[in-house]
Amino acid sequence: MRLHRQALPTVIKWCGLQPGDAAGRMNDQQTMEIYFFPSRFFLALGLEQKLDQQARVHLGYFLSNLLVVALLPLAHLVPHFCIFRSLAGIPCPGCGVTHALLLALSLDIRGSLAANPAGLLIAAVILFQLCFRPLAIAYKRASSYVVTGSRWLVKFATAALFGS
């Protein structure tokens, strides 16, 4: 299915997304982070009035990463198909990341590094989000430190992903 440029706003509106909501959110420093929850999710829970915008963003990142960790064991049920590998005949930088994350969750560091070296850093990013985003919600002064730390970890993980 091919979407025309004019159809995209309709699809975004139909899915209940607001501008800036996406499966991955580009923050103001142009680094990609995992973010699955549209703004209407917080409105439906009644958190729109209880939390300010910054706290809702932190909560969105926390819940998104929690969802990734919860669904990761089910990843083996999804058929694997790599377009890059089928066209070029070599693995893409992302090949083995899911396996590496599963091995990192089971604390098999050596196996995780063998599957994809970036997987361990991606696991560190997810762990960072799960540990420090709640702190940023509870302590507003910690928010800028959490955002900065998250950006740096994502940059390192991206460099490892494309450098491996």
Q: How far is CA 71 from CA 20, 77, 92, in A?
A: 24, 11, 23
Residue 139 within a domain: yes
Strand-pair partners of 33: 25
How confident is the model at residue 164, as a pLDDT?
57
pLDDT in tens, 34-85: 666 666 777 777 777 777 878 888 888 898 889 889 998 898 888 878 888 8
Residue-number span of the structural domain to which 45 is assigned: 8-78+89-163
Q: What share of the chain is helix, strand, coil (3-state, %, to 5)?
A: 65, 5, 30
Element (H, E) at 119: helix 117-138
Q: Where are the alpha helices (DSSP H) in 28-94?
A: 39-44, 47-50, 53-71, 83-88
Residue 84 within a domain: no
Length, in residues, of the chain: 164
Instruction: State the Cα–Cα distance between residues 154 and 61, nearest whole angstrom.
Output: 13
Residue 2 within a domain: no
**Residue 141: CB atoms within 10 Å:** 7
Residue 83 within a domain: no
pLDDT in tens, 9-42: 433 333 444 444 444 444 454 445 566 666 677 7
Residue 104 within a domain: yes
Whole-model pTM: value is 0.72
Domain count, the chain: 1
Question: What backbone phi and psi angles, to 5 degrees, belong to 108?
Answer: -95, 80
